[in-house]
Structure 1
Amino acid sequence: MSDTPKQDNLFASPLGNVPRFAFDEAVVDVFPDMIQRSVPGYQTIINLCGELAARYVQPNSNCYDLGCSLGASSLAIAQQVNQPGVSIVAVDNSAAMLSRCASVLEQGQTTAKIELVEADICDIEISNASLVVMNFTLQFIAIEKRQALVEKIYAGLNPGGCLVISEKLLFEPESLNQLLSELHHQFKSAQGYSDLEISQKRDSLENFLLPETLETHINRIKACGFNSASPWFQCFNFASLVAIK
């Protein structure tokens, strides 16, 4: 695999009926470029997950990277974990993502044990966990399944364990949501995306990426029993939350 990521031009030409977004081979091929140019603060969030791993990962416990894509969070965790007997479980339902992820991890500077699992994160078991990370994953899960998923994570976390949820957010009132959406649009324009690309990708993600308000996320997390939950990073309409059991 080339060290230089391929440029994302999937939506650069008029597509007519824009297909629904999918984490297929075409997206995998350009994913590093796509997410860096689409999500403000992405690399900062990934790096901070490593910092949390150094603080919260317990000896002989499991870390879960749910919706791992190409393993960026798993690598950040692996590079910062300094406890013995730690296993990292990286889960994704995209075979194309996991195939490329395996290649990425082979090149990563880590000796930590990382297990790749192809599965729906709603179906896997969470156990003996000291850190669970969902970076821009929950937004693709059906809203009616989100409560049960967070409850399962809470049940599988050890006392003192940490949950990270990073998401695109919805804001109220609509005027504030519009402002932050426009600032995000400007961010993507500054990264070289055309208005056509931004518009077509937005259409592709409609009814697939389903954002919620920060209040909804925090209320759900606390309802599951977490002692604390708070945003620890935000840029425009993207934020990362941390919760401690």
Structure 2
Amino acid sequence: MSKAPDRLFAQPLEQVPDFVFNEDVVQVFPDMIKRSVPGYPTIVENLGVLAARFAQPGSILYDLGASLGAVSQALRRHVRSEGCRVVAVDNSAAMVERCRQYLTAQDSMFQELLPVEVVEADILTLPFEPASLVAMNFTLQFIAPQQRLELLTRIRQTLLPGGALILSEKLLMADAQAQQLLNDLHLGFKRANGYSELEIAQKRSAIENVMKPDTLQAHTERLHAAGFSKVVPWFQCLNFASLIALP
């Protein structure tokens, strides 16, 4: 795993471009995500534990928005259902290339792992096959809001009975005071992890037009509208949460 520190926004920029998952981000992504998302390592590892509960023999496990494959690696460490395979999907060519490298390295360290296919594709147009588990780890927030219900509906339709969608997202608080408090605490988390005020401000400018968070209520209502019968929050750290949606 890359150890390069995230210094992408450490120098003043005349104009801050919109955030994209390019090669520069790939180089520092493990450091960036660890220092920016409270609870991220706990979410990733426990996605594997949760997946083992829902994975069915001979089925597909999807990792949608796989980035460098951390979730796919967790699925392969924990799922033992016979005949399962992981399909990791991302639309960034740079992410896909590095993801394949990391998964190949995992193959050399562990025996009898689930097979994995890494696909460069847009999940909005990807033809899904029947699956027992779909993981979307901080992915939906980068999908245009008007396209989210259709995507979730297609995911619901592809899930086998007894399967699950695990959805992790940054949350927007419905209450303005709670939103301000959690936003301040998140900024404190970033400062404690070594980000300067300049880095925090420039990263916010880069990402505010491409990442659109929702409230927990909005997520729950949309998942029900997509056909899911039950939504169970299983983790939250500050304004970052993960949900289990059942068909």
SS in structure 2 of the partner of residue 149 of structure 1 = helix
Aligned-pair CA distance for 1:161: 0.5
Q: Is the 8 A contact 1:28 1:96 kept in 2?
A: yes
Query: What is aligned with 2:126?
Result: 124
The two structures have a TM-score, normalised by structure 1, of 0.97
Aligned 8 A contact 2:48 2:75 in 1: yes
Q: Which moved more, 1:154-163 or 1:166-175?
A: 166-175
Using a 3 Å threshold, how does the CA distance of structure 1 residues 4 and 65 change in structure 2: closer, same or farther? closer
Match of 1:92 in 2: 90
Q: Indicate which of 11, 19, 30 corresponds to 1:21.
A: 19
Of 127, 143, 147, which aligns to 1:141? Answer: 143
Alignment of 1:190-205 (within 5 A): 190-205=192-207
Give a deviation string over 1:61-82, Cα, whole Å, max 9, x none: 0000000000000010011111
Displacement, 1:123? 0.6
Instruction: Among all aligned residue pairs of Structure 1 and Structure 2, give the percentage whose two residues are the same amino acid.
Output: 53
Amino acid in structure 2 at the alignment position of 1:75: Q
Which one of the candidate residues 196, 209, 212 is aligned to 2:214? 212
1:65-84 correspondence to structure 2 within 5 Å: 65-84=63-82
Corresponding residue number in structure 1 for 2:101:
103
Q: Which residue of 1 is the match for residue 191 of structure 2?
A: 189
In the alignment, the residues of structure 1 paired with residue 137 and residue 84 of structure 2 have an alpha-carbon distance, to the nearest angstrom, of 20
**How many Å separate the matches in 2 of 1:158 and 1:206?**
35
Report the TM-score, using the length of structure 2 for normalisation.
0.96
Is 194-203 or 226-235 further displaced after alignment? 226-235
SS of 1:212's equivalent in the other structure is: coil
Give the aligned partner of residue 166 of structure 2: 164
8 A contact 1:126–1:157 mirrored in 2: no
**1:173 matched to which residue of 2?**
175
Which digits, 9 at most, give the CA deviation of each residue in 1:91-120, with x for residues without a partner?
000000000001100111353111011111
Q: Which runs of 4+ in 1 moved over 4 A?
A: none
1:4 Cα shift? 5.3
Q: Secondary structure at the match of 2:86?
A: strand
2:223 alignment partner AA: I
1:39-58 deviations in whole A, cap 9, x for unaligned?
Answer: 00001000111111211100
Q: Look up the match of 1:230.
A: 232
State how many pairs are aligned.
243
2:171 is paired with a residue whose SS is strand
Which of 32, 50, 53 is the matching residue for 2:51?
53
Aligned residues of 2:56 and 2:81 also touching (Cα < 8 A)? yes
Work out whether residues 2 and 27 of structure 2, in 8 Å CA contact, stay in contact via their aligned partners in 1: no
Does the 8 A contact of 2:2 with 2:28 survive in 1? no
* C-alpha deviation, 1:173, in angstroms: 2.2
Contact 1:69–1:97 (8 Å) recurs in 2: yes
Deviations 1:173-207 (A, max 9, x none): 22211111110000000001011101100000011
Is there any run of 5+ residues in structure 1 with no aligned partner, and where? none
Where 2:209 maps in the other structure, the secondary structure is: coil
Q: 2:138 touches 2:168 (CA, 8 Å); kept in 1?
A: yes
2:232, 2:243 within 8 Å by CA — same for their partners in 1?
yes
Of 50, 61, 64, which aligns to 1:63?
61
1:37 has 2:38 as partner: no
Runs of at least 5 residues in structure 2 that lack an aligned partner in the other structure = none
